[in-house]
Amino acid sequence: MDPDNGAVDLDQLAALRTPEGSAALTAATGLGGGDPLAAAAALRSAGVPAGLAAAALTQAELRRRAVGKFGPEAAGMFLTRAGLEQATRGVVAARRAERLRAAGVRTLADLGCGLGADALAAARAGIRVYGVEADPVTAAMASANAEAAGLAEAFTVECGDATAFDVTRVDAVFCDPARRRAGTGRRIFDPNAYSPPWDFVTGLAERVPHTVVKVAPGLDHALIPVGAEAEWVSVAGDLVEAALWCGRLAEVPRRATLLREPAPTCAAGVTRHQLTGSGAVEAAVGPVRRYVHDPDPAVVRAHLVAELADALGGTLADPTIAYLYADAPGGTPFARCLEVTDVLPFSLKRLRALLRERRVGRVEILKRGSALEPEKLRRDLRLAGPEAASLVLTRVAGAPTVLLCRPVAD
């Protein structure tokens, strides 16, 4: 087993897919959550060879971690630590596949398919997928995952160079270039050092009429190709990815998509909200008002704060800070709303006195444009009392400011 990324080698993967390996995986899953050394000893005492036991325990642990991304499907998947970290969440991949299918896509090349999360979602949507993956073990795992999902005929994988794939074979391409260095896991910040490199990735749009590129949420807007739609996606308020929709798939310049999965006991489906715009408009600036709205990070990254301000009748109190102020609560899924009860220039002494006067013993601390460390501030406030409050650390017209607030119900 590779100690750097928790991946098995090809021989160990083959062993895990035998009846004996399947039994070892089942036993390892049942030993989850305990002492790993004791679990390994238990498997060996049951006659499982040491190498197979280690591989099974690693897979069982990765599958437990993967449930948050893939749901029940994680139980049958083969995974690596690096591959799991970089894989698209199931709800995001399903939404992308739905959009591709609605655009008329029937065949798709997934260049750099990794463990196959996006390709499997596309195959479930009725799209024939050809995956290309440079790493032999990862490619073999993607194939195994397709077989486990019953999609081996709809999603096939070849191990090779993504730049050599003949894209004329398909009517759409999806590419998720590797943004971490192999072996070290360190992030790559130069797009031309991606694998495949950025110039190849952006050139796909000139060759294939339907091209989607998954990119890091922190993508520099200057790198967005002319005419492409840039979309930022958050799940339950957590910004998870950005994507470029090119060619015939581009519908608007910028899009913020908010997804929320239902609770396990809820029969409803995924909730989806979308905000679109040019991303080039600036919001008006005004004073602090009764309500402050904290936009979802997808809205902020997509540069759609001005569009949200227009919908809320809101303004910025500082042109560089993405808090929006309005006279009424917005009731919008795109921002959290707090009612402002007090506004004061930041002073630890004054803030401590105000909180003591209000008998506040618990605070939630939000911040934009402040260098203060929330946990250190919490200690310095020496809170005591039965009440709770929200503190917003920010700037107003360039001046460090603190807002004392209370949450507004959704």
Q: How far apart are CA 290 and CA 277, in angstroms?
A: 27
What proportion of the chain, given as a percentage, has pLDDT over 90? Answer: 79
CATH of domain 87-274: 3.40.50.150
pLDDT at residue 387 in the model? 96
pLDDT per residue as tens digits for the range 1-36: 343 445 578 999 999 999 999 999 998 888 876 677
Identity at 276, one-letter amino acid code: T
pLDDT per residue as tens digits for the range 80-117: 998 999 999 999 999 999 999 999 999 999 999 999 99
pLDDT at residue 180 in the model? 66
Q: How far apart are CA 167 and CA 223, in angstroms?
A: 23
Confidence of residue 188 (pLDDT cuts 50, 70, 90): low
Q: How far apart are CA 307 and CA 296, in angstroms?
A: 13
Contact 144, 115 (CB under 8 A): no
The mean per-residue pLDDT over the stretch 290-301 comes to 98
The mean per-residue pLDDT over the stretch 361-367 comes to 97
The mean per-residue pLDDT over the stretch 305-309 comes to 98
The mean per-residue pLDDT over the stretch 399-409 comes to 95
pLDDT at residue 409 in the model? 81
Q: How far apart are CA 321 and CA 102, in angstroms?
A: 37
Secondary structure (3-state) at 389: strand
Q: Which residue has 């993504």 as its token pair?
A: 162
Measured from the Cβ of residue 55, the count of other Cβ atoms closer than 10 Å reads 26
pLDDT at residue 330 in the model? 86
The closest of 322, 305, 407, 301 to 370, measured between CA atoms, is: 322
The closest of 217, 110, 188, 194 to 154, measured between CA atoms, is: 110
Which range has the worst mean pLDDT, 59-73, 182-196, 235-249?
182-196
pLDDT per residue as tens digits for the range 316-342: 999 999 999 999 998 899 999 999 999
Confidence of residue 267 (pLDDT cuts 50, 70, 90): very low
For the chain, the domains span 10-71, 87-274, 291-407
Q: Which residue intervals of 219-301 are DSSP H helices?
A: 297-301
Task: Report pTM.
Answer: 0.91
pLDDT at residue 391 in the model? 98
C-alpha distances (whole Å) from 376 to each of 62, 355, 360, 373, 392 are 34, 16, 17, 5, 15
pLDDT at residue 33 in the model? 65
pLDDT at residue 184 in the model? 56
pLDDT of 61 above 50: yes
User: Of 264 and 236, which is predicted with more confidence?
Assistant: 236
**Burial zone of 183 (CB within 10 Å; 0-12 exposed, 13-18 middle, 19+ buried):** exposed
The closest of 353, 351, 357, 358 to 403, measured between CA atoms, is: 351
CA 379 remoteness from chain centre: 32
